[in-house]
Amino acid sequence: MSFPHQRPRRLRSTPAIRRLTAEFRLDPAELILPAFIREGLSEPAPIASMPGVVQHTTDTLKRAAAQAVELGVGGIMLFGVPLLRDATGSASLDPDGVLNKAIRDVRAEVGNELVVMSDVCLDEFTEHGHCGVLDSQGRVDNDATLEIYGQMAVEQARAGAHMLGPSGMMDGQVAVIRQALDEAGFQDTSIVAYAAKYASAFYGPFREAVDSQLTGDRRTYQMDAANRREALLEVELDLEEGADIIMVKPAMSYLDILADVAAMSPVPVAAYQISGEYAMIEAAAANGWIDRRRSIEESVLSIKRAGANMILTYWAAELAGWMKNR
């Protein structure tokens, strides 16, 4: 009689066997590179809390997009940092504003070879840093914000974005954007809905990346980390409103949410490995505390395993390069 009867270790015994039996593997086509462009720069500006990530100039953004195409990356998500901000974020509606111009420039560079996505949110454009406009008492005014989102979406679609990413967590934002797009003739522009987006401390480095003016927090509109069931409500609402793709964000502290959403969503599911997740791994690796490459690969693979069909990650290009050379 021999023990044990079952030996799962057999399938772990060589790299080739492990490769053959892997349940999940990453592909560059499912990665989306978030990228920042800052108005008025003559050189790319490093972001201290995100080593390796920069605020781009037009030139370096176009180069990054072209490189993403070469590497087989699936998409790029654009965020703009304007020179001037005001109470209503009006630079977001300017066809020549930093983000709309960046969309045009990137589309001219990549055509349809890369899915061009853009952030529909006011936080980069408002002087107070909130994702919407404020009412007379300083609260974020949901419905007044929706009106602007609709116009912003149309400008981004006109600039050439294939997909729009409303990230502001206003109630009804997907419906308003869908209607505005359809009325303007952009029936084919898709919506990647930030559906389950949590108020997270891990967005910290992003605030530096977009030079955020925010004081306080976003807890009156982004979800509470204590809630799991509520994510399904947010997703169902966005689906009803016409979301083409559903996003969960952040990713790593919310893999349970991602798994829940992946189990019920009839549309593709995206997850955003955010700035703080990037920063933590880079910082630990820089200290020699973890193996950088293995930690990056493991972290992104875990997001895929939890159910993401596509992953936004600041390592998208680097990961794609590793996959190419594998």
Residue 121 binding ligand PBG, by CB under 6 A: yes
Longest dimension (CA), the chain: 80
Identify which of residues 68 and 274 has a Cβ nearer to ligand PBG in the complex: 274
Q: Are strands 54-56 and 45-46 parallel, antiparallel or unpaired?
A: antiparallel
Q: Is 197 an active-site residue?
A: yes
Residue span binding ligand PBG (CB under 6 A) among the ranges 84-92, 117-125, 140-148, 149-157:
117-125
Query: Applying CB under 6 A, what is the total number of residues that bind ligand PBG?
Result: 10
Query: Helices 142-159 and 98-110 sit at what angle, rounded to 10 degrees?
Result: 30
Shortest CB 206 distance to ligand PBG, Å? 3
In terms of CB distance, is 70 or 134 closer to ligand PBG? 134
Told to check if 218 binds ligand PBG by CB under 6 A, we report: yes
Q: Per-residue string for binding with ligand PBG, 295-314, x by CB under 6 A?
A: --------------------
**CA dist list (Å): 180 to 101, 276, 283, 311, 320:** 20, 33, 42, 27, 35
216-221 — which CB contacts under 8 Å span 24+ positions?
A: 218/130, 218/131, 218/169, 220/139, 220/140, 221/131, 221/132, 221/140, 221/142, 221/168, 221/169, 221/170
Please select the residue that binds ligand PBG; options are 274, 310, 311, 316, rule is CB under 6 A. 274
Q: Which range, of 23-31, 119-127, 238-246, 296-304, touches ligand PBG by CB under 6 A?
A: 119-127
**Kind plus residue range of the DSSP H or E element containing 148:** helix 142-159
Q: Which is nearer to ligand PBG, 206 or 315 (CB)?
A: 206
Alpha-carbon gap, residue 296 to 118, rounded angstroms: 25
Nearer to ligand PBG, 33 or 325 (CB): 33
DSSP 2-62: -S-S--GGGGGSSHHHHHHH-S----GGGEEEEEEEETT-SS-EE-TTSTT-EEEPHHHHH
Q: Is 167 in the site for ligand PBG (CB under 6 A)?
A: yes
Question: What radius of gyration do the chain's Cα atoms show?
Answer: 20
Least distance from ligand PBG to the Cβ atom of residue 298, Å: 19
324 is catalytic: no
Strand locations in 121-241, DSSP E? Answer: 163-166, 190-197
User: What CA–CA distance (Å, rounded) separates 157 from 191?
Assistant: 11
Among residues 30, 105, 119, 260, the one that binds ligand PBG under rule CB under 6 A:
119
Q: Which of 62, 249, 304, 324 is catalytic?
A: 249
Among 92, 275, 299, 313, binds ligand PBG (CB under 6 A): 275
Q: Residue 115 or 252: which CB sits closer to ligand PBG?
A: 252
Instruction: Report the alpha-carbon distance of residue 77 to residue 111 in Å, rounded.
Output: 15
Q: How far is CA 280 from the centre of its chain?
A: 17
Closer residue to ligand PBG, CB minimum distance, 77 or 235: 77
Identify the residue among 36, 186, 198, 203 touching ligand PBG (CB under 6 A). 203
Q: According to the binding rule CB under 6 A, does residue 62 interact with ligand PBG?
A: no
Residue 142 within binding range of ligand PBG, rule CB under 6 A: no
Instruction: Note the residue count of the chain.
Output: 326
Per CB under 6 A, residues contacting ligand PBG are 119, 121, 123, 131, 167, 203, 206, 218, 274-275
Q: What are the catalytic residues?
A: 197, 249
